[in-house]
Structure 1
Amino acid sequence: MTASARAALPVDADGHWMRPSPGRAGLRADAIVALVIAVGASATVTLYSVAEFFDEPAEPWKAVLVVLGISGPLVWRRLYPVTVTVTVSAVYIIGVNNAVPEVLFSNIAIFAAMYSIGAWSQSRRRAFIARVIIVGGMFLWLFWGLTRAAFDTSLAPEGSGVGLIAPGVAFGLISVITNILYFAGAWAFGDRAWAAARERAQLQARTDELARERERTAEQAVALDRVRIGRELHDVVAHHVSVMGIQAGAARRALGSGRAGAEHEAAASLTAIEQSARQAVDELHRLVSTLRSPGDVDGEADDSPSTRTTAHLPALVDEVRATGRPAALTTVGDPVPLGPLVDTTLYRVAREAVTNSLKHAGASAALEVRLRFTPEVVELEVSDSGVGARAARGGASGGAGGGLGQVGMRERLAAIGGTLEAGPRSRGGYLVRASVPLVVQERSGDDHRSDERGVEEGAS
């Protein structure tokens, strides 16, 4: 049980759990028990009188008071168990000393009251002390009666002589044994009921804590999902805006050159800008839809992945070529099926690296995307022939201390067991290399498909 769950439970001065007071349902149940004991005690008083349990039974009004005295207090046995037990025990002793013929339901009442001390007392120390005093007092009274019976010869028939045990002593011993069993059972059952209630309270506290933890986890998952979507928005906007900016620049230069075919080149650039804008709007619509609650949209939100896979790398390279820059895609080795999570992550890394190359490599830089398959790993390389020192300007594909784009790529790859290398090349230009072990990607694709979304959020 955690410290927070323990702190939620009330304890007494000794550090013991304090059982909460019963509700109205418990008090109603105790009232019914008191009524049943009152009715039963009234019936047994009549039966004992008819059976001449006492030679001279008490007056009826005394019997009525004893019946009320042993049954009435039981209504409050859970609220004031010690007081109720003392009251019922005292009434029982008074009733016996006044020859009230009732010893059946009165013993049941004492048992229930003694049980309540162990089960419902707010302080374990007070419960122990109270039971010791009550039991001690009851047995002192029994031994006093036993001593009187030992010298009472009226119980023995005339001329019977003195036996091994006097009849009064035998009757007293039976009472002692009976009361030992009664009090021991009430003591043990009461403590067990208190322990069981404490276990239920601890279980409920743990359940409540787990419910609160689930709520916190759900809130954190929503927050992480929003962070993931925010990064997706950044990637989508940065990539498409970079491509559109370069294409717009190409269209402006073509229109200003005045050479033959310039209008055709400008129209092609504008067409590419239009296509990039449509793609950006489509992806943004899917991403933003996931941020809305079901009541905020006309239809159901599309929960399908908003990213592409390595199968879309040719389209990514074609976008670069549409800007007028040389670009190539090369696949090395025998391609193997990739898990959905690995496939998506590699495309994200490629798009981020291409976007930063368009931003920082220079207008004349050539771009190469290489997808390499080996028996152990799958590698993605994005290199350019531009200005490798651009990392100093904070490009996302810059050195080890690059910007947020590089941090995002590293996190995504780390989540699937991959690594990222990024830095200037010795022969000029810049290189981004992502490597993912094939064993990891197979496990991600085959054994953990049901956890794909959760891991994807962590990667983002």
Structure 2
Amino acid sequence: MLAIVLGSGLAITTTLYGSAGTYGDDQAAWWVSALIVVANAAPIAFRRRWPMSVAVVSALAFAATQVLHVPEVFLVNFTLFIPLYTVGAWCSDRVRAEVVRWVVIGGMFAWLFLAIAFGWAVPNALPNDDGGLIPPYIALSLLNIVINVIYFGAAWYAGNRAWASAVAKHQLDERTAELAAERERNAAQAVTIERVRIARELHDVVAHHVSLMGVQAGAARRVVDRDPEQATASLGVVEESARTAVEELRRMLGTLRSDHDDDGQRGDEHGDGPSTEGLGRIGELADSARTAGHPTEYVVVGDARDVPPTVSAVAYRIVQEAVTNVLKHAGPSARADVRVRYLDDGVEVEVTDDGHGERPPRTTAGSGLGHVGMRERVGAVGGRIEIGPRARGGYLVRAWLPTT
């Protein structure tokens, strides 16, 4: 479209300049003018596909317009400016783009200087004595030089600016795409993390009570015929554990649904989130292990004191998971030891068992969420944890949690 518009304009202006007698008797024939019009306009249609070739062809057509005295001195300037601009704006090979533009511009200035030099051979171009500040021919030569500097400088600058703007837009689009992809990855990661967190919470809340219920239900089944009272007591423990599990699930789901409160901590719908499950309830975990038939000792070392709610909740969850593992893996009659130590710079919880039961040696087969959850919780508060078998038999879970 641009080539057609320029071609039509060149045909009109060439006809008008010809009718005005721009070159007088030296004017080119009409068919020469027609060919030059096509030579100037047609390359514009291919300027983005072959920008450097079009720039060279347009420069030659521009020169032919002047040499052959084709009566056009206006729009032909645009047919050279646009290809020079296109080289700067569209060529990805920046070195070749620089070379081609320098060659074209250098050739044009060489032609200009030759024309000025030959002009000095004309007698009336010599300096006169009419008292003017600058002789007419010198003034005209300087004016032509300034006009060409501005013309070619504008083409060069506009092309480079267009290229820089296109590169900046491309980089911005790439960064936008990268940010969008990063947001999608972060969203997917957040969903995965939330799923893992919910799975960990469910494991912590349910595993202990379900394990206790299973142990007591099995005990009730074995003694229901010969010791109904013991079977009734075991079923009572199952009932109590079921109530406790349901209550803790309700509290946990309320916590997961709630938003952060003003202190940046989560609380359930009644305001008593996980922070209430703290060090003060660890004795209940020891009692549940005794009820399940495991002789369990509970010892508190040091003077009890208030600790941050987060640390208290982490300590409770670690002991809960460790006691659950004793019920599940240590054997039906294994002994357990639960200790809480209040240290100067932290609190330490420890759960051990002797691993001696009526069943085969303990197995650690499971989902793996228990150990992972304990390590994640301890890491979240900047503590340390030790998990593994003891040299003299049994298993050890010991965690140190900072309180300062």
Same fold at TM > 0.5 = yes
One-letter amino acid of the counterpart of residue 247, structure 1: Q
Q: Which runs of 5+ in 2 are unaligned?
A: 260-265
User: Does the CA contact (< 8 Å) of 1:361 and 1:387 recur in 2?
Assistant: yes
Superposition CA RMSD, Å: 4.7
Distance 2:43 2:309 in 1: 73
Q: Does 1:250 align with 2:215?
A: no
User: Does the CA contact (< 8 Å) of 1:326 and 1:367 recur in 2?
Assistant: yes
User: Does the CA contact (< 8 Å) of 1:146 and 1:172 recur in 2?
Assistant: yes
Q: Per-residue displacement from partner, 1:398-423 (whole Å, max 9, x unpaired)?
A: xxxxx874454234313431111356
User: Does the CA contact (< 8 Å) of 2:51 and 2:91 recur in 1?
Assistant: yes
User: Does the CA contact (< 8 Å) of 2:40 and 2:61 recur in 1?
Assistant: yes
User: Does the CA contact (< 8 Å) of 1:150 and 1:166 recur in 2?
Assistant: no
The equivalent residue for 2:262 is none
Moved more, 347-356 or 88-97: 88-97
Tell me by how many angstroms 1:269 deviates. 1.7
Distance 1:367 1:121 in 2: 78
Moved more, 362-371 or 140-149: 362-371
Count residues in correspondence. 383
The equivalent residue for 1:448 is none
One-letter amino acid of the counterpart of residue 115, structure 2: G
- Look up the SS of the partner of 1:151 in the other structure: coil
Shift of the 177–391 alpha-carbon distance from structure 1 to 2, 3 Å rule, reads farther
Q: Does 1:380 align with 2:349?
A: yes
Q: Which runs of 5+ in 1 are unaligned?
A: 1-30, 290-300, 397-402, 440-460
Identity %: 43
TM-score between both structures, scaled by the size of structure 2: 0.72
Q: Per-residue displacement from partner, 1:184-219 (whole Å, max 9, x unpaired)?
A: 332344234323422332333333334334434444
Q: Per-residue displacement from partner, 1:239-287 (whole Å, max 9, x unpaired)?
A: 33421232123323542434xxx33x32232233245456667878999
The equivalent residue for 1:6 is none
**Equivalent residue in structure 1 for 2:55, among 85, 96, 99:** 85
Q: Does 1:121 align with 2:86?
A: no
Q: Does 1:420 align with 2:385?
A: yes
Match runs of 1:37-436 below 5 Å: 39=9, 42=12, 46=16, 54-55=23-24, 69-153=39-123, 170-232=139-201, 235=204, 238-258=207-227, 262-263=228-229, 265-277=230-242, 302=257, 308-309=274-275, 310-311=277-278, 313=282, 316-325=285-294, 328=298, 330=300, 333-336=303-306, 338-340=308-310, 342-361=311-330, 363-364=332-333, 367=336, 369-383=338-352, 387=356, 393-395=362-364, 405-406=370-371, 408-422=373-387, 431-436=396-401
Distance 1:54 1:120 in 2: 37
Distance 1:196 1:113 in 2: 18
Distance 1:87 1:167 in 2: 34
The equivalent residue for 2:263 is none
One-letter amino acid of the counterpart of residue 346, structure 1: A
User: Does the CA contact (< 8 Å) of 1:419 and 1:435 recur in 2?
Assistant: yes
One-letter amino acid of the counterpart of residue 257, structure 1: R
Shift of the 165–69 alpha-carbon distance from structure 1 to 2, 3 Å rule, reads farther
